[in-house]
Amino acid sequence: MIVAVGIDVANLERLRAVWQRHPERFLYRHFTPEEIRYCRSKADPLQSIGARFSAKEAFQKCWPETHGWQDVWVEMEGVKPVLKFSPEIQAEMNKRGWVAHLSLTHDKDMAAAVVVLERP
């Protein structure tokens, strides 16, 4: 059964402007070191940054409480993006019997993410 759905769209030019003003502060405030490494390995890191930013925002729209930027992150399992969580959020997910599904997309101007929380 679907418990919640969250969606977010990021304007990449807006993110680029913030990133250029505060490059390291922006990255290390919002992303884990692994996410930063992954994004920097891409020809255009901004698209991956935007997709991950959107994933965190989309999850927040599903989650009943606020959380920190690094309490939720994106890892790749092969070519599939998956959400990972801080121990506190993971424990609550387990307690509620919820699993998270993630879809990411991006193009030259926008990045988007959809998160579905499900109780199988």
The residue with tokens 């680029």 is 16
pLDDT at 40: 96
Total count of domains within the chain: 1
Burial readout 64-96 (b: 16 or more C-beta within 10 A, e: otherwise): eeeeeeebbbbeeeeeebebebeeebeeebeee
| Predicted local distance difference test score (pLDDT) of residue 105 | 97
Domain containing residue 33: CATH number: 3.90.470.20
Residue 115 three-state SS: strand
- φ, ψ for residue 81 (rounded to 5)? -80, 140
**What's the pTM?**
0.95
pLDDT tens string 27-63: 999 999 999 999 999 999 999 999 999 999 999 999 9
- Fill in the DSSP letter of residue 71: G
- Whether residue 39 contacts residue 45, with contact meaning beta carbons closer than 8 Å, is answered with yes
**Structural domain for 74, as ranges:** 2-118
Dump pLDDT digits (tens) for 51-97. Answer: 999 999 999 999 999 999 999 999 999 999 999 999 999 999 999 99
